[in-house]
Amino acid sequence: MLVTASLLVATPAHAQLTTDVISVADQPRPEWEPLGIRMGPWVALPSIELGAVGATNVRASETDRKADIAATATADLLVKSDWGRHALSGQAYARRSQYASLSKESRTEYGAKAIARYDISATSHLGWAGSYDRLVEPREEINAPGDARSPALYDQLRGTLTYARDNNLVQVEARALVDRRTYRSYTDFNGRRTRQGERDFTRYQGSLRLGYALSGSLSAIVAGSFNKRVFDQRSTGGINRGSRGGTIESGMLWRPNEHVSVEARAGWLVQRFKDPRLNDAKGLSLNARAIWNMIPRTSFRLEAARRVSESSAPTVEGQLVTTMKAGVDREILPNVIVTAEGAYDRIKYVGIPRKAIEYRAELRASYLLSRLTSMNFSIQQVKRSATIRSDRFSGQRVLAGIKFSL
C-alpha cells in the first residue's frame, strides 16, 4: 500500500533505471584498447591468444583423478560499425585445447554471432542478436555424461530480439529468445556409441521488465518471464519432458550515487511438465545484484539467483539451482587488474532425492602491456559434494595466456 501511494504522488524523478554502475574490472580503458583496422565506416579487430592450462582433475572425477597440462590457442575476429547512430557487428572465433598426455580430452570449439541495434530515439532502441556455437560440455558440468571417452559435443543456435526504453522516469525492457540445442553422439570408455537425441530441445522464452523512478535514487521494479521447452524425443518409458513455466518478481533498484548500485527482486517460479508422471518444479525466485565502488580503484560485487535448469537425466523433471557469488576487483595500476571471486551453487533435482553443493574460488589477474598485447592469469579451486558419488569431485586449475591484437 505504501508503494502504491508513492507511485501516485511521485513527481518526475531523474534517475537512470538501467544498472549501469560498472565494476573496475569491466570499465573501459580507451588508452589500452586496440585500434583495429579501419575500413571506411567499419573497424576490424582480429586477435590471437596463446596459453597453457594445468588441471589436477581433468575428468572432474572422484574415482579417476588424472592431472595434465594443455596448450591452448584462440583466434577471434570482430568487425563492427563506427556510425553515429545504430550499430552492427559480426564476430567469429575458433578455439583449440591440446592436452599433453590425455589426448582424448583435447577439444575444438568454434562459433559466430551477429548483433544489430536500431536506435529509435535517444531513449529507445531495438536490438537483435543471432549466434551459432559448436561447444564442448565441460567435464565438471553436472549434466555432462560421465562415461564419455572424450568430452561430449553439442550445437547451440540462439536468436534474441529486444526492445528497450528508458526516459529517466519509466523503463521498459522486453526480450524474446529462441534457444536450440543439439547434443552429439559420443563413445564411452568401452567403445560403445551412445546417442543423446533425447536431450535435444528448443526453448522459447519471453520476458518483460518494468521500472518506475520513485526518486532520484530509488526505483520500483517488476519483472516477469514465460518459457516453453520442447524436446525432440520422448525419454525412457515414453516420458514427455516438454514443459511450460515462468517467473514473476518485484523489487527495488537503489542507486544513491554513481558508485553504488543495488537491485534486488524476489517472487515465484513454476515449471509445469506435460507428462503427469513428472512433478512440477516451483518455489522462490530470486535475482539480486550489487556493485560498490566507493573505495578508489576497487569494486565489491554480490550476486544471487534461483532458477529452474535443464537436467540430462531422461526421467528427471529438472533442477532448482540456487547461486550466490561474491567478488572483489582491484586496479593495482591503470593496466593491472586483479580479481578475487567466490561462488556457491546448490543444485536440487526435482522429483528425486539427488542434490549437490558446489564451491568455487578463483583469483584472476590481467596485465595490459600495450594496445596490442595483454596477459592474463587465473587459478581456481572447485569442490562439489553430492548425494550421488559420480557427481562429486574436487580439483584445481591454473591458466596463463598472452593475447595479441591489432
pLDDT digits (tens, 9 = 90+) for 137-165: 999 998 888 889 999 999 999 999 999 99
Apex 81 CA angle, 75 and 84, nearest 5: 150
Supply the pLDDT for residue 84.
87
Flag whether 68 is in a domain: no
Flag whether 47 is in a domain: no
For residues 401 and 189, the model is more confident at 401
Flag whether 45 is in a domain: no
pLDDT of 361-400, one tens digit each? 999 999 999 999 999 999 999 999 999 998 999 999 999 9
Is residue 198 within 8 Å of residue 231, measured between CB atoms? yes
Supply the pLDDT for residue 393.
94
Supply the pLDDT for residue 349.
86
**Model pTM?**
0.87
* In the chain, % of residues over pLDDT 90: 77
Flag whether 91 is in a domain: no
Flag whether 90 is in a domain: no
Supply the pLDDT for residue 307.
87
pLDDT confidence tier of residue 19, bands split at 50, 70 and 90: low
Supply the mean pLDDT for the chain.
91
Supply the pLDDT for residue 8.
35
Flag whether 251 is in a domain: yes
Q: Is the pLDDT of residue 129 over 60?
A: yes
When divided into structural domains, the chain yields a total of 1
What number is the average pLDDT over the span 79-92? 96
235: helix, coil or strand?
strand
**Identity (one letter) of the amino acid at 173?**
E
**Residue span of the structural domain in which 249 resides:** 2-40+113-405
For residue 130, give the nearest of 197, 176, 95, 184 by alpha carbon. Answer: 176
For residue 304, give the nearest of 282, 320, 322 by alpha carbon. Answer: 322
pLDDT of 211-229, one tens digit each? 999 998 999 999 999 999 9
Q: For position 295, which CATH number holds?
A: 2.40.170
Flag whether 142 is in a domain: yes
pLDDT of 272-282, one tens digit each? 988 888 888 88
Flag whether 55 is in a domain: no
